[in-house]
Amino acid sequence: MDTPAADWSDLPADVLGLVLLKLEFPDLFRSAAVCTSWRATARDIRRLGLYTRAQTPCLLYTTAAAGPRAAVIYSLADKATYTVRLPDPPIAERYIIGSSHGWLVTADDRSELHLLNPATGEQLALPSVTTVEHVRPLYDGAGNLHKYEVLFFDGNLRSNDEDLDAVTHPPETFREFFYLKAVISGDPSRGDYAVMLIHHPHYQLSFARSGDKKWTWVKFENNVLFRDCIYHDGVFYAQTLYAAIHAIDVSGPASSSFTHRLICKPCIHACYNVYIVRTPEGEILHLVRLTEVDNDREDQELRTAYVGACKMDLEKQCIKEVDDLGGNALFIGKNYSTCLSVKDYPQLMPNHIYFDDDDECWLYRKQLRRDVGVYDYENNSRLKTFVGNQLQN
C-alpha cells in the first residue's frame, strides 16, 4: 500500500534534535534556516545547552579582501571558507593570543584582552592588563594612558628590589611583547571558566576566573619558564621549556587562591617551541617544533622544519619518542594544543600535525607569509602550506 510522502518539517523535535546534534556549526546554522520547525529545534538545542558537539578545528584568518571587521574561517570539516563579520574592535587590528573551545583570546590596540566567539559573535572582556602583577600604567601630563611598564620580577627576583629591570611599551605595541599564549578552561558560554595567561617577563603565568576583576599571578619559589598549557578535569597543566609539567588548580573558594604541584620534573634541554597535548586515550604527549629561516628569500621567512613527539612517563619522570601518533591528528600553535582521534573526525589525516605559527619574534611581523601547514609525522615531512600569503593574523 502507498503511504503519503514523508513530511520532514513534521519530524518529531526530539528525533530532529538527534540529527542536528551530529552537525558541525555551519551546518547547524544553515539547518536553522530551512523552515520554522527546524529553526525552533535548532534554537532549542542551543538554548538548552544540548549542542555540545566537539567541532573539527577551523583555521581563522583575516584578509584585505574581507576587510578589517571580518574574519575568514576555513573549515577542515567541509573544506569550505566562510567570511564572518565580527563585533568591534576590528578583528584584523587585534592580536590573537589563543583559541580554546571555539573561542578566541584577542588583544586590542590598548593591549586589553577579550574572549570572542567567531561563530556567534559573543564577546566578553577580561580583566584589564593593568591588573597583572607585573604591569603598571604610566600616564602623560594630561592624564592619558601613555605607556605600560613591566617590572622584571619572578619567584627569584623580588618585586621590591631597588634595581629591578623594567621596560616600557606604548599600549598598542605592548601586546607584541607581553603576551605569549592564553588558554581557556572550557566553553565560556557554558558557565564558569578560567583563563590562564602565559606572559612576560620570564614566561610566567597569571589567571582570571569568570567574574574576576583582576589577574592573579601564579607565583613560584623560583624562576619557571612556561611555554604551553592545557586544562583537564579541573586542573591546568602548564609545561615549561624544559618539559616539566606543573599542575595548577585554580578552583579554590577564594578567587585569587590556587594550589600547584610539580608532576613531571624537567627532562630536556631548553626548547622554545614545545607543546603539551592530552590524547583521547589519556596519555600526555610532549611536542617539539623546530623552525628554520628560509634564507633564499629576502624577507627571511620562518618555516616549520621538524616536529618531534614524545610520550611522557609520569611515573618514571621521563619522555620517550613515539613512532606514530596513534592514528590521531594534532593541532599546535596559538591554539589550545589538541589531539583528536580521526575516528571521531574523519576529515582529519591520521598521524599528521596541523600547525600555525606562534614564534614570538616572527608572529607579529604581519607582512610576512605565515607558517601554517600540515606535518606528516610518520614520514617526517611537511605537506603543502595551507593558504597563500594573504593571511594576516
Partner 1 sequence: MAAATDDAGDSNEMIRVVSSDGEHFEMPEAAANLSLVLRHMIEDDCADAAGIPLAVVAAKPLAKIVDYCTKHAAKSSGLTIEEAEELKRFDAEFIEVDTDMLYDLLVAADFMGVEGLSKLAVQRTADLIKGKTPEQNRETFGIVNDFTPEEEEEICKENEWAFQITKPPSRLC
Regarding 3 and contact with partner 1 (CB under 8 A), the answer is yes
Determine the interface stretch with partner 1 among 73-81, 88-96, 195-203, 357-365 (rule: CB under 8 A): 73-81
Task: Give least dist CB 300 to partner 1, A.
Answer: 25
The one-letter amino acid at 216 = T
Q: Which residues are bridge partners to 207 per DSSP?
A: 196, 216
Identified binder of partner 1 from the candidate list 40, 54, 80, 290, rule CB under 8 A:
80
Identified binder of partner 1 from the candidate list 46, 67, 81, 169, rule CB under 8 A:
81
Regarding 47 and contact with partner 1 (CB under 8 A), the answer is no
Phi, psi of 126 (to 5 degrees): -95, 165
Q: Tell me the torsion sign for CA atoms 214, 235, 227, 220.
A: positive
Contacts with partner 1, 212-251, as mask; x by CB under 8 A: ----------------------------------------
Phi-psi region of 211 (alpha: psi -120 to 50; beta: other; left: phi over 0): left
Determine the interface stretch with partner 1 among 27-35, 198-206, 297-305, 307-315 (rule: CB under 8 A): 27-35
Size of the residue set binding partner 1 (CB under 8 A) = 45
- Could you say which DSSP state residue 27 is in? H
Task: Give least dist CB 51 to partner 1, A.
Answer: 13
Task: Give least dist CB 155 to partner 1, A.
Answer: 42
CA distances (Å), origin 70, targets 32, 73, 74, 91, 272: 22, 10, 13, 7, 32
Q: Which three cell numbers stand for residue 50?
A: 544540548
CA distances (Å), origin 392, targets 70, 93, 224: 12, 10, 32
Regarding 14 and contact with partner 1 (CB under 8 A), the answer is yes
177, 168 Cβ separation under 8 angstroms: no
> How many of the other CB atoms lie within 10 Å of CB of 341?
16
Regarding 368 and contact with partner 1 (CB under 8 A), the answer is no
Phi-psi region of 307 (alpha: psi -120 to 50; beta: other; left: phi over 0): beta
How far apart CA 224 and CA 377 sit, in angstroms, is 30
> How many of the other CB atoms lie within 10 Å of CB of 257?
11
Task: Give least dist CB 59 to partner 1, A.
Answer: 9
Phi, psi of 10 (to 5 degrees): -105, 5
Identified binder of partner 1 from the candidate list 44, 68, 69, 84, rule CB under 8 A:
84
Query: Coil, strand, or helix at residue 26?
Result: helix
Identified binder of partner 1 from the candidate list 44, 68, 74, 341, rule CB under 8 A:
74
Q: Which residues are bridge partners to 286 per DSSP?
A: 276, 310
Q: Quick one: 8 or 139, whose CB is closer to partner 1?
A: 8
HSE-up of residue 391 (Cα within 13 Å, Cβ side): 24
HSE-up of residue 356 (Cα within 13 Å, Cβ side): 21
Contacts with partner 1, 109-148, as mask; x by CB under 8 A: ----------------------------------------
Identified binder of partner 1 from the candidate list 30, 190, 320, 365, rule CB under 8 A:
30
Regarding 343 and contact with partner 1 (CB under 8 A), the answer is no
How far apart CA 380 and CA 393 sit, in angstroms, is 27
Q: Quick one: 1 or 64, whose CB is closer to partner 1?
A: 1
Q: Quick one: 6 or 361, whose CB is closer to partner 1?
A: 6
Q: Show contacts with partner 1 in window 372-391 (CB under 8 A).
A: 373-374, 383-384, 386-387
- Residues forming contacts to partner 1 in the complex (CB under 8 A) are 1, 3, 5-9, 11-12, 14-15, 18-20, 22-24, 26-27, 29-36, 38-39, 74, 78-85, 349, 373-374, 383-384, 386-387
